[in-house]
Amino acid sequence: MDTILVTVTALSLAMAAGMGAVLVRTLRLERRRSAARVEMLEQLAANGSEPGIDAAQRARRRAPVLDDFELRPGPPQPTTGPAIFSEIFEEHQAPSAWPRRFAVIGAMTAIVCAVFLGWRGLGSSTSEAQPTRQAATSGTAQPLELLSLQHTQQDGTLVISGLVQNPRGSAPLANVQATAVLFAADGGALTSSRAPIDFTTLGPGEESSFVIRIPAAAAVARYRVGFRAGDDRVLNHVDRRNTETVARKQAP
């Protein structure tokens, strides 16, 4: 996400620089056209004649016009004198360049706003991500502590119960399940079962009890207790009881 925002910001800055260069070039060309137009008009005013007309043509234009009627009238001759200069110095209505300038200014404003919003979104996402990272790294995963463990047998069912604690300074755990595996006298596994602990979320320093019920029709020599996270990941644990680590089934 951060890479996309940085890329969009860089492209926006490049577009803003390009539009600025186009605006500067347009203004420079407009000034050159205005200067060339003024220079041409000054030259025409200083010469006092229309460019491209030699002396013979000017003499023919000054010749008197007869009052006879022409059988085949030709095209009307251009007038001389003030009419020509009035056409030369006549002000032509050229299209204004301000609409184009306003369009360029609007595009640059939109680009600047996009850059500002991009930087603001990048800053907000970074500030929101920092507390999450701090919360995730505030506690490190530590082995669970098995505080107590006991079992009873009722109507062919082995009931295993105990108390587990999440150490202080450890990360919170959710949907923890207690597991139990039953073994025969020869060491072979008979069956297994699991059950969720009483607390859905086990915070740092918190304790929770658990109860696992397993049908035990065959002879069970011993069992082993473990814990798994909500994603079926094995959670290490340390036996903090005063008795032996592996609990054995009491004889009936």
- Tell me: do 129 and 149 sit in the same domain: no
Most confident option among 110-114, 176-180, 217-221, 242-246: 176-180
Answer for the pair 207, 165: CB distance below 8 angstroms, yes or no: yes
- Return the H-helix or E-strand segment holding 152: strand 144-154
Residue 104: predicted pLDDT: 75
Among candidates 153, 162, 167, which has minimal Cα distance to 197?
162
How many other C-beta atoms can be found within 10 angstroms of the C-beta atom of residue 27?
A: 13
Q: Which residue has the higher pLDDT, 227 or 69?
A: 227
* Interval 118-141: pLDDT, tens: 767 666 655 555 554 544 445 577
- Tell me: do 155 and 117 sit in the same domain: no
- Tell me: do 154 and 211 sit in the same domain: yes
- Tell me: do 201 and 105 sit in the same domain: no
Residue 250: predicted pLDDT: 41
Domain presence at residue 247 = no
- Tell me: do 13 and 123 sit in the same domain: yes
Helix axes 2-47, 98-137, angle to 10 degrees: 160
* Mean local confidence (pLDDT), 146-167: 91
Domain presence at residue 180 = yes
Which residues are CB-neighbours of 250 under 8 A, at least 6 positions away?
Answer: 151, 153
* Residues 129, 80: Cα–Cα separation, whole Å: 83
Going by pLDDT thresholds of 50, 70 and 90, the confidence category of residue 59 is low
* Interval 174-195: pLDDT, tens: 999 999 999 988 888 888 999 9
- Tell me: do 96 and 120 sit in the same domain: yes
Instruction: Note down the domain range covering 208.
Output: 144-239
Residue 1: predicted pLDDT: 59
Average pLDDT across the chain, whole number: 75
Q: How far is CA 190 from the centre of its chain?
A: 54
What proportion of the chain, given as a percentage, has pLDDT over 90? 25
Its pTM stands at 0.43
- Tell me: do 12 and 90 sit in the same domain: yes
Per-residue CA distances from 107 to 29, 182, 203, 240 (Å): 20, 74, 54, 70
Joined together, the tokens standing for residue 120 give 């603001």
Torsion on CA atoms 237, 251, 189, 244, rounded to nearest 10: 20
> Helix, strand or coil for residue 221?
coil
Most confident option among 68-72, 95-99, 107-111, 153-157: 153-157
The count of structural domains within the chain is: 2
